[in-house]
Amino acid sequence: MPTGYIAFVLDENTREQILAAIAPRFEIVVCHHITVEYGVTDEAALPSLQRAEIIGYCTDNGGIEALIVAIDGNTTRPDGSTYHITLSHAQGREPKESNDAICEHGWSPIELGTSLSVQAQFILSSNNGGDDDDNSLG
């Protein structure tokens, strides 16, 4: 059975608003989704949400930057890591490294004042191993 991850995917207008408000620091711009859970099959139930908003920013100053997201007021994913959007990364780095950057460097609060327009989706892993978020993007 195919494995992948469940994510809240940003609509194009929301993505454009984020990129207009926060200029990416690194050359590969991702800004695509918020991972909810990885290592799931395509039969997994898709979550619902009332509100998603950007509440923080993280960078490791070495090629990873991410935006911290509150989903219905909560920043903690089911696996205990932090809901986020990988904003950008440098060559030689991978979007999934945002998880480590957030754990190691923490994050600073920011206010954008807009609710994100997203759609829950199952995304097939590029390696079909359910390895981690947004590895196939960027």
pLDDT by residue (tens digit) across 83-117? 999 999 999 999 999 999 999 999 999 988 778 99
Identify the pLDDT of residue 133: 45
The model's confidence at residue 130, banded by pLDDT at 50, 70 and 90, is: very low
Instruction: Note the pTM of the prediction, 2 decimals.
Output: 0.88
Comparing C-alpha atoms, which of 88, 68, 89, 83 is closest to residue 120?
Answer: 83
Identify the pLDDT of residue 113: 79
Residue 121 reports pLDDT greater than 90: yes
Tokens of 59: 């960078």
| Centroid of chain to Cα 131 | 14
Strand partners, 84: 68
Tokens of 118: 């997203």
Using the 8-state DSSP alphabet, how is residue 126 labeled? Answer: T
Average pLDDT estimate for 31-50: 93
Lowest mean pLDDT among 27-31, 49-53, 111-115, 121-125: 111-115
CA gap 6, 33 in Å, rounded = 10
